[in-house]
Amino acid sequence: MNANWTQIVSIWTLVAILTVALIVVPAPTGQPVEAAFGAILAGSIATVSLLQLFKNNADGFVRKLVYVGGGSYLILALATAFVFLKG
């Protein structure tokens, strides 16, 4: 596995961990858990952008953004379906 995929999969793993943590431990504010999913998605894309900025190399940047954004969106969509069907 090359460095690009390691970075992408590690961000997906972080998204999945944060998503499960939000589902297991509800927010004390009483807001639905889906309200925080947008922040997780934005954070995953911001993480790719920051890592790319520090790397100072534009090779494959758009591909990483698409893969991380798409994978994170899929993880969060499955979590939303789970929360919807559970409740």
pLDDT tens per residue, range 26-49: 777 777 888 889 999 999 999 999
More confident residue, 29 or 19: 19
Distance of CA 52 to the CA centre of its chain: 16
- Structural domain boundaries enclosing 48: 3-86
What is the model's pTM?
Answer: 0.88
**CA distance linking residue 41 with residue 47, whole number of Å:** 10
Total number of domains in the chain: 1
